[in-house]
């Protein structure tokens, strides 16, 4: 692949650590995890010891203290190893970010620090069976129960949910107020009334632990609300703005892996007496792959850099997520095409990459939702 220009020696060494981990610890087990839909608990614990999860959590809260930009460098490498593994890592940052952005100092100390220090898992509970793209339409309710908040509802597609010890939950205190009625609550898994569904049998990213979570009259202490009642929608959107470059990096890692496999195979595979890499049809595919991967990475880096500077970056985050996700889908599809019939079997790695890529166009806001965010920002002028 092309060298990455402009990184500092510290950033290069961070990438090398993550790539070494992906090469030695993740790639050797990726196919087996995929086959068995097995959550890589032991290896994620090892990544915690190396500081490769809770990447954007400040050091004083026992995280790795990386900028979003530097986190993206790590995540691309981990996703190059296995996208489901990367999703499981990023899900922890996603769940802790609402508290990092909107929690009080006391809440950060109580709800972020113990998770980051221990290597436990946390889940971001926004999506519901009937509310995926339409966040303002979510149906989980929170009522004032005097000494407690009372939480009722169901969440769907929740990453890490089966292994999480804490949930960051979005719920409505007044459904007539739509987005202005949403709240954000931190809910310990041990609270009575919580039930967690099975690890979903997904098409791709099969090792990531995606489950439903149900809340049945769950009593949540009053001081577990992050921000004020009604601020939940804004907190969720700000969290997704900050998280989308990291998700885009997962797409870049998948696409890079697929391109590398396709390039190597095209030099080995002979047809009509020549390596298929000598044919322009294949060369054009490889050139387009490299170009969209580089474009995806540059859009991702720009959005990460803007967020790190404290600048508004909704449009740039959505552009990065949309373009990287769609590019990962096209690059992995072309990689399967270059492998031909072999690419369509589980004996070669590219079919997994294609299945893994599809989820990037769906989770953390579909490619269509990203376009809506981009167009609305443009139309605002």
Residues with catalytic roles: 364
For residues 133 and 195, which CB has a smaller minimum distance to ligand CAA in the complex? 133
Give min distance, CB of 205 to ligand CAA, in A: 9
Residues that bind ligand CAA (CB under 6 A): 91, 94, 124, 126-127, 133-136, 158-159, 179, 233-234, 237-238, 240-241, 314, 363-365, 369, 372-373
Task: Give which of 88, 98, 115, 67 is closest to 211, Cα–Cα.
Answer: 88
Helix-, strand-, coil-residue percentages of the chain, each rounded to 5? 60, 15, 25
Residue nearest to ligand CAA (CB): 365
For residues 136 and 150, which CB has a smaller minimum distance to ligand CAA in the complex? 136
For residues 260 and 377, which CB has a smaller minimum distance to ligand CAA in the complex? 377
For residues 94 and 194, which CB has a smaller minimum distance to ligand CAA in the complex? 94
For residues 194 and 325, which CB has a smaller minimum distance to ligand CAA in the complex? 325
Give min distance, CB of 123 to ligand CAA, in A: 7
Which secondary structure element, helix H or strand E, spans residue 213, and what is its range? strand 210-221
Give min distance, CB of 142 to ligand CAA, in A: 18
Distance CA 131, CA 11 (A): 39
Ranges assigned E (strand) in 92-209:
121-125, 141-144, 148-159, 164-172, 182-188, 194-196
Distance CA 257, CA 272 (A): 27
Give min distance, CB of 316 to ligand CAA, in A: 11
Task: Give which of 143, 148, 158, 145 is closest to 214, Cα–Cα.
Answer: 158
Give min distance, CB of 125 to ligand CAA, in A: 9
Q: Measured between alpha carbons, how far is residue 227 from residues 257, 297, 299 in Å?
A: 40, 33, 31
Distance CA 52, CA 84 (A): 15
Is residue 38 exposed (0-12), middle (13-18) or buried (19+ Cβ within 10 Å)? middle
User: At 151, is the secondary structure helix, strand, or coil?
Assistant: strand
Distance CA 94, CA 313 (A): 17
Q: Which residues contact 49 (CB under 8 A, 6 or more apart)?
A: 119
User: At 248, is the secondary structure helix, strand, or coil?
Assistant: helix
Other beta carbons within 10 angstroms of residue 58's beta carbon come to 16
User: At 55, is the secondary structure helix, strand, or coil?
Assistant: coil
Give min distance, CB of 267 to ligand CAA, in A: 36
End-to-end Cα spacing for the chain: 38
For residues 149 and 363, which CB has a smaller minimum distance to ligand CAA in the complex? 363
For residues 229 and 365, which CB has a smaller minimum distance to ligand CAA in the complex? 365
Give min distance, CB of 128 to ligand CAA, in A: 10
């Amino acid at each position: 692949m092309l060298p990455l220009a402009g990184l500092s020696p510290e950033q290069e060494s961070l990438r090398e650590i993550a790539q070494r981990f992906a090469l030695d610890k993740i790639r050797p087990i990726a196919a087996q995890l995929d086959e068995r839909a097995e959550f890589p608990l032991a290896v994620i614990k090892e990544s915690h010891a190396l500081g490769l999860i809770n990447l954007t959590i400040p050091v004083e809260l026992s995280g790795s203290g990386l900028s979003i930009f530097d986190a993206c460098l790590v995540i691309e490498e981990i996703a190059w190893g296995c996208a489901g593994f990367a999703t499981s890592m990023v899900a922890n940052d996603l769940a802790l970010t609402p508290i990092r952005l909107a929690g009080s100092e006391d809440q950060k100390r109580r709800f972020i620090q113990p998770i980051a220090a221990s290597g436990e898992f946390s889940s971001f509970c926004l999506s519901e069976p009937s509310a995926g793209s339409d966040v303002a339409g979510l149906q989980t309710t929170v009522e004032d129960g005097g000494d407690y908040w009372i939480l009722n509802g169901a969440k769907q597609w929740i990453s890490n949910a089966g292994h999480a010890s804490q949930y960051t939950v979005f719920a409505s205190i007044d459904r007539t107020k739509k987005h202005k009625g949403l709240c954000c609550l931190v809910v310990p898994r041990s609270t009575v009334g919580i039930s967690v569904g099975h690890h979903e049998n997904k098409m791709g990213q099969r090792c990531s632990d995606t489950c439903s979570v149900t809340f049945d009259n769950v009593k949540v202490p009053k001081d577990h609300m992050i921000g004020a009642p009604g601020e939940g929608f804004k907190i969720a959107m700000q969290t997704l703005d900050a998280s989308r470059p990291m998700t885009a990096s997962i797409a870049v890692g998948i696409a890079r892996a697929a391109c590398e496999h396709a390039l190597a195979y095209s030099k080995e595979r002979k047809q009509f007496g020549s390596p298929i890499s000598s044919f322009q049809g294949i060369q054009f595919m490889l050139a387009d792959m490299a170009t969209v991967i580089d474009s995806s990475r540059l859009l991702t880096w720009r959005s990460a850099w803007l967020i790190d500077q404290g600048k508004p970056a909704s449009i740039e985050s959505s552009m990065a997520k949309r373009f990287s996700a769609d590019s990962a889908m096209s690059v992995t599809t072309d990689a399967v095409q270059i492998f031909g019939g072999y690419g369509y079997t589980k004996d070669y790695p590219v079919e997994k990459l294609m299945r893994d890529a599809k989820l990037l166009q769906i989770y953390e806001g579909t490619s269509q939702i990203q376009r809506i965010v981009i167009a609305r920002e443009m139309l605002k002028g």
